[in-house]
Amino acid sequence: MIRIVSFPLFLLLLLGWPTAVSLSAGQRPSRILQPRSEADSALDLYMNVLGASLHQKARGALAGIPSRPRRLLALKYYLNRTAEEIERKWAWSQAEASAYRSSGEYQDALRELVAVRSYFAMLSPGYRLEAKVEIRSFGAQLGKWNSVGSIGSAGGELITAALTFLADSSLVVTDSSSNRLSRFIGFLHDFEPKQMPTVALPGLSQHGQFRAFDFRVMKGGRVVAGTVARTIPAVWDRAGWTEKLREAICTASRKFDGPLPEPYEPWHYAYHP
């Protein structure tokens, strides 16, 4: 039989149980929802304070990340970037992208790609190389950060570790609030998620300024080796496409370097105009 939970109880379940729920001896607190912890509140406070200290472009990006784990992960990485680096590497606007498309530098890049593709075709008869010629907008980069699984997992690890760190009572007792904040910054800096993020920090992908290309190997209309992480060991490395792509790129051009080592992407090469 389905019973409708009465409104106030439903609200309590949503908001968390009130503080003093007394348990008689031997009773186990099986499914009591905890009130919002001090660590949780401290985390919100620190995220706000540190977020406000960032370059305005990074602040804007954080505002576009609704999930707290994904937002905290982005904050951790933005804190390591200087304002100068953010200015210099930030994804181009539509106007900047179209100005670039009518530049000689853009034509040079296309010529380099043609050279690489021709060499690859000679190296692997019957196959052809495709390069995605895109300038990945800030919006597209943000969309990836908000949806890709590895960011959710890494952010979840970070939230758990941050709450544990902030719940440490020795921090509360001995530290002034500014010491606590700087220790928290140190924690964020040192934390390394087990799950490696597989997409770039929003705004700072090399694809945002046409400074990288993703290649894929085709046969007729079929993708033989595409830009899918789980296919790397079998399809790229063991089947030899990683090496063939590297050889084609290194022989036909001197303007690329790669592939991307971390996260490992055998299809991703940086381009230096």
Rule CB under 5 A: which residues touch Zn ion? Answer: 214, 268
Which of residues 40 and 265 has its CB atom nearest to Zn ion in the complex? 265
Which of residues 109 and 159 has its CB atom nearest to Zn ion in the complex? 109
The nearest distance, CB 213 to Zn ion, in angstroms, is 7
- What CA–CA distances, in Å, run from 202 to 19, 65, 77, 178, 233? 39, 10, 10, 29, 27
Q: Put residue 26 in one of left, alpha, beta given phi > 0 → left and psi -120 to 50 → alpha.
A: left
Q: Specify whether the CB–CB gap between 251 and 117 falls below 8 A.
A: no
Residue nearest to Zn ion (CB): 268
Six token digits for residue 228: 């899918």
The nearest distance, CB 207 to Zn ion, in angstroms, is 6
Single-letter code of the amino acid located at 32: I
Which of residues 167 and 199 has its CB atom nearest to Zn ion in the complex? 199
Six token digits for residue 31: 């499914």
Which of residues 117 and 180 has its CB atom nearest to Zn ion in the complex? 117
The nearest distance, CB 229 to Zn ion, in angstroms, is 11
DSSP string, 169-235: HHHHHH--HHHHHHHHHHHHHH---SS---SPPTT--GGGGT-EEEEEEEETTEEEE-S-GGGIIII
Which of residues 47 and 232 has its CB atom nearest to Zn ion in the complex? 232
Single-letter code of the amino acid located at 111: R
